Amino acid sequence: MVAVDARSDLAAGLTREGHDVLGVVAASALALVAADGVLGIAAEDLLGTLAEADAVVLEVGRDSLTAGVVALCDRAGTRILPVCASPADERLAAAFGLEKPMAMDVEPWHLADTLAAPPVAASEAPIAAARPEPRVIAVWGPAGAPGRSTIAIELAVELARGGRHVGLVDADTHAPSIAISLGLADEGPGFAAACRQSEFGTLDVGELTRISTLLGRSGVHVLTGVNRPSRWPELSESRVAAALAVCREWADYTVVDIAASLERDEEIMSDLEGPRRNAATLATLRSADLVVAVAGADPVGVSRFLRAHSELRATIGATPVVVIANRLRPGALGIDARGQVRRTLERFGGIEGVWFVPQDPRSADAALLSARSIAEVAPKSPLTLALRRFVGEAVVGVPAVARGRGMRRRSAA
C-alpha cells in the first residue's frame, strides 16, 4: 500500500519490481481516518486494504504521521516505511519510533529492496537519530528581577554552540525585554504573530524562520515579545501551546523567557472563558520539557524563590526543574555564600541540586551597552563560563528522566 502526495510514480515502480500494490491514497488519508472515528464506506475500504497489506509506504508530514496512524498500523500488523522530504520529517519519523526513513527521491528499486529486507530501527539510522532532550526549556523566576531574561539569552547562545539551531522566545506578558536587551526591533511580528497563525493552523517551520530574527552569527533565531504589555491577550493559552508545538520541529532547542506570576486570579473571579494575563506563562510551563528556575543569590531573592517554588511545582507536576542561583556575590551573604544558599534551599525547599552563576556587572553592563549577549562581549566572563558548564553537564545530551533524578543527588560546586 502506498500513501503519498509528491511521488505518485512509486506505485508503478513497485509494481515493476514485483510487489503487489493494494492501494494508493493521499498521504493524509490514514490520519483523517484515525482522527475522524466515524467509519464510512471509503474509510472501511481503506482499513480493509491496510489490514491486508504487509507494509505501507507513508510520506511523512505533520498532517500524515500521527499517533493515530501508528496505532492503526500496529493493530493491523502493517509495517510503516517512512519517506521523508526534509530533516524535520526525518526527526518526526524518529520521534514515533519508525524505521530508517527513505529520501523523497528514492528510486523504486531501492524502495523495493528495503521492503524485502528486515526493518532497520530509527535508532540505528544516523540521519534519523532523535535530537537530544529537552526540546522546550522554560526560564522562570519569582518576582523581583532575579535575572530571568539574562539567563535565557545566555542559555540560548551557549546551546547554539556546535551548530545547533536554537530558538529564543520572549513570552513574558508583563515586562518583555529580550528585544531591548539585544537591540532588536520590537515592531516586527515576533512571537505574537506565531501565536496568531497557530490558531488558524498556518504556522509551520518555514514561517517561524521568516518571522524570527537571527541573532548575529550565533545560530539563535529570536521571536521577540509584544512591544506593549497591553497586547497580552494575543498570547492565549491555546495559541502559546500550539506555537511551541511547532517550535519543537523548528529548532533543536527552544528557550522561552516567561513572566514570574503563576496566579490564576481570573479563574477565581469568573467562571467565564476569557483572556488570562498569565496564560502564556502557564502554557509554557506545561509545554516545557525542562524548567530552569532562577533565584537571586541573596537573602531577599532566596526568600522570594522559596515562597514561589511550591506553586511552581504544583503547576508543572513531574517536569524536571533545575535551579540556578544567579548573581552570587560574597558581599550579600558573607562567608561561604554558596554553602548558605545551598543549605537554605535544601532545608526549606527540599532542593538538593543548585547551580551557581556569579555576578559580573562589568561584563553585563558592556553587553547592555552594545546590545549583545555577554558571551559575545566577554567570552571569558565567569558568568559565561558558569553557564557553559551548566549547559554541558545539565542540558545537552542528558535524557530528561536521568537528568531529573541525577541532579537531586548532587550539588554543583
Check if the beta carbon of residue 395 is closer than 8 Å to that of residue 255.
no
| pLDDT the model gives residue 290 | 95
Same fold, 2-128 and 136-406: yes
Whole-Å CA distances, 342 to 158, 208, 300, 324, 352:
25, 40, 15, 11, 7
Read off the pLDDT of residues 73-113 as tens digits, 9 standing for 90 and up: 887 888 888 888 888 788 788 877 788 888 888 888 888 88
Q: How far apart are CA 330 and CA 339, in angstroms?
A: 11
Q: Which of 322, 323, 327 is CA-nearest to residue 298?
A: 327
Q: How many helices (H) and strands (E) does the chain have?
A: 20, 13
Tell me which fold the domain 2-128 belongs to.
Answer: Rossmann fold (3.40.50)
pLDDT at 274: 61
Residue 281 near residue 259 (C-beta atoms within 8 A): yes
CATH class for the region spanning 136-406:
alpha beta
81 Cβ neighbours under 8 A, 6+ residues apart:
55, 56, 57, 58, 99, 102, 111, 114, 115
338 and 396 Cβ atoms separated by less than 8 Å: no
Going from N- to C-terminal start, the domains of the chain cover 2-128, 136-406
Question: What amino acid is encoded at 54 in this protein?
Answer: D
pLDDT digits (tens, 9 = 90+) for 227-257: 888 899 999 999 999 999 999 999 999 999 9
Write down the pLDDT at residue 267: 53
314: left (phi over 0), alpha (psi -120 to 50) or beta: alpha
Ranges of residues in the chain whose predicted pLDDT is under 70: 36-41, 119-133, 265-274, 397-413
Q: What angle do CA 31, 84, 62 make, to 5 degrees?
A: 35
Q: Which residues have CB under 8 Å from 217's CB, separation 6+?
A: none
